[in-house]
Amino acid sequence: MVYGILRLINFAHGEVFMFGAYMAFFAMTSFGMPWYVAFIIAILLTCIFGMLLEKAAYRPLRDAPRISIMISAIAASFLIANLGIVVFGGIPVTFPRPDIFNIRIVIGGVSIISKALFIPVITAVVLMILLYIVNHTKTGTAMRAVSKDYEVARLMGIDVNRIITFTFAIGSSLAAVGGIMWALRFPALIPFMGIMPGLKCFIAAVIGGIGNIKGAVLGGLLLGFGEIMIVAFLPELSGYRDAFAFIFLIVILLFKPAGLLGKNIAEKV
Amino acid sequence: MKRNNLLNIIAIIVFIAILFILNMTLDAYKLRIFNLAGIYVILGLGLNLVNGFTGLFSLGHAGFMAIGAYTGALLTMSPEMKEMTFFLEPITPILANIQVPFPVALIAAGVIAGAFGALIGAPVLRLKDDYLAIATLGFSEIIRIILTNTQNITNGALGIKGIPGYTNIWWVWGIALITVIFMVLLIKSSYGKVFKAIREDEIAAEAMGVNLFKHKMMSFVIGCALAGIGGALLGSLIGAINPLLFRFLFTFNVLLIVVLGGMGSITGTVLSAVVVTVMIEYLRVLDIDMNLGFIRIPGIPGLRMVVFSLILLMVILFYQRGIMGTNEITWEKIFGLKNRISNLITRRKAS
């Protein structure tokens, strides 16, 4: 779900995620599109939105100090969330669930709702596509080069800006997929819904090692399971559920600053 | 140098006189905003010391403010008030009967927030840049969650009501003034130079024999202590606090002030704290309906925050270190400006 090739925190990721879910909602309710068309349109729109965001908030600061980039990201995140309040309104709206996600399937006496089946399958498919793009295409190679050292990548004749925009496009599309799945699971949309998942998916990415897709998946799984386990086995601690992610993050950062699957790179002078 | 000292003293006296006049003339609402601005000065300076001068990007300010606010509230409330507030679950007996004078509570708030800063800083300050930002943000969330869940100390999500309102213009701006003086002295001292060295280049600073961890810690703890004092003043000004007040949004407001004023500028922070606080209040018109006589513009709730995020985004895109950057308004500059203007006038006259 997460993607961090730029070595920068995209604070606005959660807002992109929110945007994706809202777009799917409007495509389905206001324009009455069938759900598969609506989802595809939402993903495309979010992808464009992500690219615009990159152009507006990140590109002018490419060579600026990191603090500036981060503040810009935070400002962008607040801007989008509050614009969301202005445009979409602050009242939660109910996400319509297409019927296909609500069918009860009975397999060997265990009945499950189809969305519980769809979500992992979609995740797996998306993951496959992502791994293929990054590891087996030319653009993917360029992406990995940019994430290693973008100045050298530039010397090698890679159009860094184009690659970064492309990365944002992919990241935003994934956020849209995530947003839609989230909306299927918890069908109440509010403009501020992106903040917690946004932070958590960043945490997942850091736990796994930034810029490492397998790491992000591992981090996401650990985080999700950990949270559910805490609530399930230590119910008296369930109030501390959101704190768990942060405590986990800090412990990981202290012992493995580069994340579980990340490589430790010493800073060169 | 002597002239500057004299001018400083005169400025402080003038400032106190202005406070006196404002205290007499402003109505309660405006006075409240003015006091809020003073609190934001204290908070902004605390954050600026950490973010602007030492270059550590901390997003945990709201958490330390929360600690300060709760400490101040619990220490100044009378036992009877506490009994009334904690109706769900009685307060722990240790805290039930403590009541200390306001200044003592303020100092305690600063000390406790600083102590938490040291506790949190010890592991976290090893991290750099974005990791540090997320870790401090995480800690501030953890503090908020703990405050929500410790019913018998903080009254949980209900918050504390009926905090005695000791805060007035003298407390707020007096402490703000002391903070400004303290900051100026600190930045001019050898510690201040070390902080700036760390900001510019950590590795070079370390090579020069700077004890990185000690100085980072010092800056962080002072910043946290200032946040705690600001929080205690805020609690006493508003009269009621709850954990939701200290969300990330609050850190965002303080960050806005620091960035607008200039990361690494004391005078910039003071100016922007006043301007931003007043703007936050006056831009409320954006959120409500406007009636221009012949036409009604419907207010759009939330537009105010859009405006602020947009301002922040613009400032950071065009002035990367904030509007004032690391510049300060000093007497030399004011006099220099005067000379330049008079030169300009004489030249105009000559031609």
Is the CB of A55 inside 8 Å of chain B's CB atoms?
no
Which residue in A has a C-alpha nearest to residue B55's C-alpha? A67
Between helix B169-188 and helix B190-200 the angle, nearest 10°, is 80
Q: Is residue A238 assigned to a domain?
A: no
Neighbours of B345 (CB within 10 A): 10
With contact defined as beta carbons under 8 Å apart, do B218 and B204 qualify? Answer: no
With contact defined as beta carbons under 8 Å apart, do B128 and A265 qualify? Answer: no
Neighbours of B151 (CB within 10 A): 16
Q: For chain A, what is the mean pLDDT?
A: 72
Is residue A261 predicted with pLDDT exceeding 70?
no
Which residues sit opposite A112 in a β-bridge?
A105
Predicted pLDDT at A102:
59
3-class DSSP string for chain B: CHHHHHHHHHHHHHHHHHHHHHHHHCCHHHHHHHHHHHHHHHHHHHHHHHHHHCCCCCCCHHHHHHHHHHHHHHHHCCHHHHHHHCCCCCCCHHHHCCCCCHHHHHHHHHHHHHHHHHHHHHHHCCCCHHHHHHHHHHHHHHHHHHHHHCHHHHCHHHCEECCCCCCCHHHHHHHHHHHHHHHHHHHHCHHHHHHHHHHHCHHHHHHCCCCHHHHHHHHHHHHHHHHHHHHHHHHHHHCEECHHHHCHHHHHHHHHHHHHHCCCCHHHHHHHHHHHHHHHHHHHHHCCCEECCCCEECCCCCHHHHHHHHHHHHHHHHCCCCCCCCCCCCHHHHHHHHHHHHHHHHHHHHC
Contact B301 A86 (CB under 8 A): yes
Range of the domain at A103: 13-189
Which residue in A has a C-alpha nearest to residue B305's C-alpha? A82
Structural tokens at position A82: 């509050």
- Long-range CB pairs of A87-94 (<8 Å, 24+ gap) are A88/A22, A88/A189, A88/A191, A90/A190, A90/A191, A90/B301, A90/B302, A91/A190, A92/A188, A92/A189, A92/A190, A93/A25, A93/A188, A93/A189, A94/A187, A94/A188, A94/A189
Q: Taking the mean position of all CA atoms in its chain, how far away is CA A172?
A: 7
Model confidence at A2, in pLDDT bands (50, 70, 90)? very low
Q: Which residues of A touch B251 (CB under 8 A)?
A: none
Is the CB of B244 inside 8 Å of chain A's CB atoms?
no
Q: Which domains does chain B have, with CATH numbers?
A: 2-335 (1.10.3470)
Give the helix/strand (H/E) hosting A90: none
Q: Is residue A162 assigned to a domain?
A: yes
pLDDT (average), residues B208-218? 85
Q: Number of A to B CB contacts under 8 A, please give it.
A: 115
Rounded Cα–Cα distance for residues B140 and B120 (Å): 10
Q: Which residue has the higher pLDDT, B235 or B329?
A: B235
Only one residue has tokens 């961890």, namely B213
Contact A75 B142 (CB under 8 A): no
pLDDT (average), residues B310-319? 76
pLDDT (average), residues B25-45? 83
Q: Is residue A197 assigned to a domain?
A: no
pLDDT (average), residues A246-265? 68
The Cα-based distances of A252 to A238, A266, B34, B118 in angstroms read 21, 18, 44, 20
Which residue in A has a C-alpha nearest to residue B122's C-alpha? A254
Name which of B138, B203, B308 is nearest A269 (Cβ-Cβ). B203
Half-sphere exposure of A217 (CA within 13 A, CB side): 12
pLDDT (average), residues B318-322? 70
Is the CB of B24 inside 8 Å of chain A's CB atoms?
no
Predicted pLDDT at A90:
63
Which residues 158-197 in chain A show a CB within 8 A of chain B? Answer: 195
Is residue B290 predicted with pLDDT exceeding 60?
no
Which residues 98-157 in chain B show a CB within 8 A of chain A? Answer: 123-124, 126-127, 129-131, 133-135, 137-139, 141-142, 145-146, 148-149
Q: Is residue A119 assigned to a domain?
A: yes
Q: Which of A194-208, B123-137, B184-198 has the highest mean pLDDT?
A: B184-198
Q: Is residue A250 assigned to a domain?
A: no
Predicted pLDDT at A269:
47
- State the total domains in chain A: 1
Q: Is residue A227 assigned to a domain?
A: no
Which residue in A has a C-alpha nearest to residue B120's C-alpha? A250
Least-confidence region, from A1-15, B150-164, B205-219: A1-15
Q: Is residue A56 assigned to a domain?
A: yes
pLDDT (average), residues B315-328? 70
Give percent of chain A above pLDDT 70: 67
Is residue B191 predicted with pLDDT exceeding 50?
yes
Between helix B212-238 and helix B169-188 the angle, nearest 10°, is 170
Model confidence at A1, in pLDDT bands (50, 70, 90)? very low
pLDDT (average), residues A223-231? 74
Tens of pLDDT, residues B43-80: 888 888 888 888 888 888 888 988 888 888 888 877 77
Q: Is residue A111 assigned to a domain?
A: yes
Tens of pLDDT, residues B99-146: 778 888 888 888 999 998 888 888 778 777 677 887 788 888 888 888
